[in-house]
């Protein structure tokens, strides 16, 4: 069912890809670390290699947390839209199947936040 309306009711999405001037939104969430109250919305060109997301954006977003420096990146578990997933680190967001407004989550085994509270 769509909208009840007195006449035809169709509009463009406010967040369609073309409104972001060549960039796309990528959401990133760190499991078991709810000190960061919500997943982040980040902005990248679609050709950005996945490794550049990790190296370029995550330290600025997450390094306040004492666990961030302890992450063993070879052990990290990745999820795309909630499903287990293996990124190709040297390939672009597009080649990784990460379109506009895709959600990536990562879990860092052994690290569960401040005093193990998932904070």
Partner 1 sequence: MDMKTSSGKKLGLKEKYRHMTRGLDWETSYQKREDVHPLVEYEGIKIHDWDKWEDPFRLTMDAYWKYQSEKERKLYAIIEAYAQNNGHLNVTDARYLNAIKLFLTGISPLEYMAHRGFAMAGRAFPGAGPRVACLMQSLDELRHAQTQIHSLSNYNKYYNGFHDPAHMLQRVWYLSVPRSFFDDAVTAGPFEFMVAIGFSFEYVLTNLLFVPFVSGAAYNGDMGTMTFGFSAQSDEARHMTLGLEIIKFILEQDPDNIPIVQRWIDKWTWRGYRVLTLVGMMMDYMLPKRIMSWKEAWEVYFEQNGGALFKDLARYGIRPPKWLDQISFDKDHISHQAWATFYQYGAIADFHTWSPTEDELDWLSAKYPNSFDKYYRPRLKFWREQAEQGNRFYNKTLPQLCQTCQIPMVFTEPGDPTKICYREVDYQGEKFHFCSDGCKEIFENEPEKYKQSWLPAHQIYQGNCFPEGTDPTAEGFDPVSKVLEYYNIGFGQDNLDFEGSQDQKNFAKWRGMATSNE
Q: What burial class does residue 53 get, using C-beta atoms within 10 Å of its C-beta: 0-12 exposed, 13-18 middle, 19+ buried?
A: buried
| 117 binding partner 1? (CB under 8 A) | yes
CB 84 within 8 A of CB 4: no
Three-class SS of residue 73?
A: coil
| 37 binding partner 1? (CB under 8 A) | yes
CB 37 within 8 A of CB 113: no
Beta strand segments in 15-113, E: 24-30, 40-44, 77-80, 83-85, 102-107
Q: Quick one: 6 or 74, whose CB is closer to partner 1?
A: 6
| 19 binding partner 1? (CB under 8 A) | yes
| 60 binding partner 1? (CB under 8 A) | yes
Q: How far is the CB of 86 from partner 1 (least distance, A)?
A: 19
- The span of 29-37, 46-54, 70-78, 87-95 binding partner 1 (CB under 8 A) equals 29-37
Q: Which residues bind partner 1 (CB under 8 A)?
A: 1-6, 9-11, 13-17, 19-21, 23, 25, 27, 29, 31-32, 34-43, 60-61, 64, 81-82, 99-103, 105, 113-115, 117-119
């Amino acid at each position: 069912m769509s909208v009840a309306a007195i006449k035809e009711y169709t509009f463009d999405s406010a967040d369609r890809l073309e409104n972001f001037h060549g960039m796309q939104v990528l959401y990133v969430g760190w499991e078991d670390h709810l000190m960061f109250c919500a997943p982040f919305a980040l902005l990248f060109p679609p050709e950005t290699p996945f490794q550049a997301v990790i190296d370029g954006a995550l330290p600025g977003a997450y390094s306040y947390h004492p666990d961030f420096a302890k992450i063993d990146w070879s052990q990290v578990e990745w999820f795309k839209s909630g499903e287990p997933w293996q990124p190709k680190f040297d390939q672009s967001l597009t080649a990784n199947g990460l379109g506009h407004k895709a959600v990536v989550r990562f879990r860092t085994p052994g690290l569960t936040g401040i005093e193990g509270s998932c904070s």
